[in-house]
Structures are given as C-alpha cells and as structure tokens.
Amino acid sequence: MADTQARSKPLPEADEASRPFYDGALAGRLMLMRCDDCGTVRLPSRRHCDRCLSTETTWVQASGRGSVRTFAVMHRVYHPGFADEVPYNIAVVELAEGPRIVSNLVGVSNADIRLGMPVEVEWERHNDVALPKFRPLTSDR
Ligand SMILES: [Zn+2]
C-alpha cells in the first residue's frame, strides 16, 4: 500500500563499493576498509586511501566500539517514517579504529547523551539490511 510505504523509513541499498560493509552487517560484523600500503582505516568505502591514495585495500572487522563525537536531537519530522520517533537522536560515533560513522544511539535517553560517552555497535535488522546503532557501554562491561 502506498500509504504504508510512505510511512516506512528509507533504507540504504548496497552498491558494489559498499556491499562488503552491508554483508558484514547482516552477519553482525562492522566492516571497515584498511589500506594495504599505509594501514589507514576508512569509512565509507571508496577506492582510494585518504592518506596515501593507494587503491590496495582489505576489508577488516572493526571492534564495534567507539565514543560519541557529537550528536543532535531531531524534533521535526523530515520524513514520515520517523513521525513516531521524534524527538530522536543522530550521533557521530568516532570508532576505535579512527573513522567516524553517523548513526543513532539506543538504550539511552536523549537527555543523558554525553560527548565522549563510550558506545558499542548493535544491529537493527530489517528484511535484507542491518543498520549499525550504538548503545552506551556500562561500567561493568
Ligand atoms: Zn594508505
């Protein structure tokens, strides 16, 4: 039904360059590209290394841990798929391996989000795609 579709959230579609990332996500692994020549890790996927321009790359599994670099809380409905979730957060997580990823924080109220908060990835599964979300690490882990 068109109305139902309009109220669904948009989901990413893997292309050739990003397929290893999304395949890893479905298997519960956060995958990043690591330059074979200088070791720089990058995300999103792209052909050349940011540091040395090498095109020699290996996909590696990241730790899934990082910290909150910055965030915003959205109060307006910019897409009908998010109407039931406002206010919701959007966060930039700086991964332990270096790259930053835009995601959402789960398991924490928007009022309790803090810069530098340590977080760990968890996966939000849809039919054929899994999205990385980040949950604050508790001190007993
Ligand atoms: Zn490099």
Q: Per residue in 37-56, pLDDT tens?
A: 999 999 988 999 999 999 99
Peptide bond into 87 cis (omega under 30): yes
Based on DSSP, count helices (H) and strands (E) in the chain, helices before strands: 2, 8
pLDDT, average across residues 85-100 = 97
pLDDT for the residue 127? 87
Ligand 1 centroid distance, CA of 40 (Å): 5
C-alpha closest to that of 107 among 91, 94, 96: 91
C-alpha closest to that of 38 among 58, 17, 20: 58
Domain residue spans in the chain?
13-136
Ligand 1 centroid distance, CA of 100 (Å): 17
Ligand 1 centroid distance, CA of 22 (Å): 23
Ligand 1 centroid distance, CA of 54 (Å): 5
Ligand 1 centroid distance, CA of 41 (Å): 8
- DSSP assignment of 42-85 equals ESS--SS-TTT----EEEEE--SEEEEEEEEEE-S-SSGGGTTT
Ligand 1 centroid distance, CA of 114 (Å): 32
Torsion sign across C-alpha atoms 47, 93, 79, 2:
positive
Ligand 1 centroid distance, CA of 45 (Å): 13
pLDDT for the residue 9? 87
C-alpha closest to that of 94 among 129, 64, 138: 64
Q: Give burial (CB, 10 Å; 0-12/13-18/19+) of 121.
A: buried
C-alpha closest to that of 41 among 120, 118, 122, 96: 96
Ligand 1 centroid distance, CA of 85 (Å): 40
pLDDT score of 1 more than 50: no
For 84, the token pair is 């039931």
Which residue do the tokens 């789960």 mark?
106
pLDDT, average across residues 18-33 = 97
